[in-house]
Structure 1
Amino acid sequence: MPEADLLAQSDTVVSDPEEVSLVLAAKPASRGRVIWRRLQHTPRFWIGAVVLVLFVLWAVFGQLLTQWSPTDQDVDNMNYPPTILHWFGTDILGHDLFSQIVSGLQKSLIIGFIAGPASTLIAGVLGATAGYLGGWGEKTIAWVIDLLLVLPAFFILILLYPFTKGSWVVMMIFLAVTGWMIMAQVIRNQTRSLREREFVKAARYMGFGTWSVVRRHIIPNVASLLIIDATLGIAAMILAETSLSFFGFGVQPPAVSLGTLLADGQSAATTRPWLFLFPAGTLILLLLAISLVGDALRDAIDPTSGVNRA
């Protein structure tokens, strides 16, 4: 490996000749270790990660902190502001808002952590396969991608709403299969350049099949893009589910989500602000935490991305 590459992998600035020789003599760190070292020195990564972990713990153990379930009604304290008995207040029917937010947060995290990576997986497989095949195979997959990109994903999800039958699990599947097209285009373009590289040609000449080459040689070389897309896709899927539920095309009563809570509380945002501010604050902080982690991960994988944005 050239000396310049070895020095580029070191995070320490060295000027003394002896220190330079020590750096060159040291075994170069793996890519994963270099990325982790960069993340360790990125404050926004730690802020986002800590907040995200707290949200996950809240979603998992939050119901243990209150005596109320999302469907319980306290008829003696209906439409009450936050109190010792109801930390986030109650709605017009006496439902405990804290418990309902925990229930909605659970659905949001499940949908985000499953639908986001699943969408990225579809994009990686189809994009890499299309870029590697070329010819009619690539044209067919590209035609499907372009056709799906003509209609906004949100509009497609609204059209598919009758088939969900009110199930948020089915909606999660629909979110995954309608959110992969843009990244698939990116992966296809990257693969078209990779398929002419020597290691890909060597694998093809050795008799490896299409899927074997894609799985062993193409996808690992675009893994950085996929990791970033999967991370940011979590926030995108949470926001998509919230938007659908807000407009009545997602989670349906008696189940609750952050979107349904926002829809119920928007009319009372000025008169009973707790009904709107607590769900909105939860959603904003959750999306901000995921975005901070994704942004830090992008800069750690590609240090030039921050320079390009500046």
Structure 2
Amino acid sequence: MRFKVVLRRLMSKAQVKYGLAGLLLLLVLAYIGPYLGAYDWQDKDFLNFMQAPSADHWWGTTQIGQDVYAVTLRGMQKSIIIGLLVAVISTGLSAVVGAFAGYFGGWVDKVLMWGVDLLLVLPSFLIVAIMSPRLKGGSWLWFVVLLAAFFWMVTSRVVRSMTLSLREREYVQAARYMGIPDWKIIFKHIVPNLSSLLIIDATINVSAAILGETGLSYFGFGVQPPDVSLGTLIAAGSNQVFAYPWLFIFPAGLLVLLVLSINLIGDGLRDALDPGSNS
């Protein structure tokens, strides 16, 4: 019943419809679009360097003859995957740490919150910048781990605060008296009751992670060649934006549309899941 109410409220908002439509179109473009083009993202046309958009190369070519359409869609695929993975890891981590800290209290709470406070004061960009060169040649998944490590702390504090209230509820007390293990109570009774917060947080983290990946890749700390992301493509095209605008416009435009679509959905989710909303 609650799911139907939330879905009805969600779909009643125009911004959510626009966001879902935009996100769906971008996903179709990212994962089906490459099959419609004549070139793979790794192909090189040595007869057409820096060619403007044409019937042969729809979005033009790069300085090494790569098809901008194919390369940009490959970059968007990688940015979407990174954003989703970072959101899942960071939201899951914030749920576990916050719930355990709030439920157990005592020294567990102090140790976990001390770790959260420590990570909050560490300069995340500087740490990623230091670590990234040491991970060159390795899997891009290490980059996902680095990003996720700095996305969960604030939400974990909110989860902890809500858990402090939830652990005193009757159903949690009843589960304790029945001898159910604490970890089961946390995952079966505490975390599910935080689902609204966690869903909203995960949605926001997707767009934040995509922007974070783009910014770090722009400065050379993210996805490494020969692979590409929207950040690396924007960085490559920014120096030639006036002479060869297609190198910058297409990846930058897709980045804006992608983040805007996700944020519209996230705002709609926040309103739909907010019991105090009258809309």
Please classify the TM superposition score into its range, dividing by the shorter chain length: over 0.9
Q: Which residue of 1 aligns with 2:62?
A: 91
Taking the aligned partners of 1:155 and 1:296, their CA distance within structure 2 comes to 34
CA contact (8 A) 1:52 1:289 kept: yes
Q: Which residue of 2 aligns with 1:210?
A: 182
Taking the aligned partners of 1:124 and 1:215, their CA distance within structure 2 comes to 10
Taking the aligned partners of 2:50 and 2:196, their CA distance within structure 1 comes to 49
Deviation at 1:303, TM superposition (A): 5.2
Q: Which residue of 1 aligns with 2:128?
A: 157
- Provide the secondary structure at the position in 1 that maps to 2:228: coil
CA RMSD of aligned residues (A): 1.6
- May I ask how many residue pairs the two structures share in their alignment? 278
What are the superposed Cα offsets for residues 143-175 of structure 1, whole Å, 9 maximum, x if unpaired? 000001111333332232144334322211222
CA contact (8 A) 2:136 2:224 kept: no
Does 2:68 correspond to 1:68? no
Taking the aligned partners of 2:172 and 2:44, their CA distance within structure 1 comes to 63
What are the superposed Cα offsets for residues 37-81 of structure 1, whole Å, 9 maximum, x if unpaired? 101211111111111111111121122111212222222221121
- Deviation beyond 4 Å, 4+ runs, structure 1: none
Q: Which residue of 1 aligns with 2:167?
A: 195
Taking the aligned partners of 1:70 and 1:169, their CA distance within structure 2 comes to 21
Higher RCO (C-alpha 8 Å, min separation 6): 2
Taking the aligned partners of 2:274 and 2:123, their CA distance within structure 1 comes to 30
Q: Which residue of 2 aligns with 1:48?
A: 19
Taking the aligned partners of 2:12 and 2:222, their CA distance within structure 1 comes to 40
Provide the TM-score with structure 2 as the length reference. 0.95
Alignment gaps of 5+ in structure 1: 1-29
Change in 2 beyond 3 A, CA 1:107/1:78 = same
Return the match for 2:90 from 100, 113, 119. 119
Q: Which residue of 1 aligns with 2:268?
A: 296
Provide the TM-score with structure 1 as the length reference. 0.86
- The one-letter code sitting in structure 1 at the alignment partner of 2:154 is I
Q: Which residue of 1 aligns with 2:219?
A: 247
- The one-letter code sitting in structure 1 at the alignment partner of 2:267 is D
Return the match for 1:220 from 192, 195, 201. 192
Greater C-alpha Rg: 1
- The one-letter code sitting in structure 1 at the alignment partner of 2:230 is L
Q: Which residue of 1 aligns with 2:3?
A: 32
Taking the aligned partners of 1:152 and 1:297, their CA distance within structure 2 comes to 31
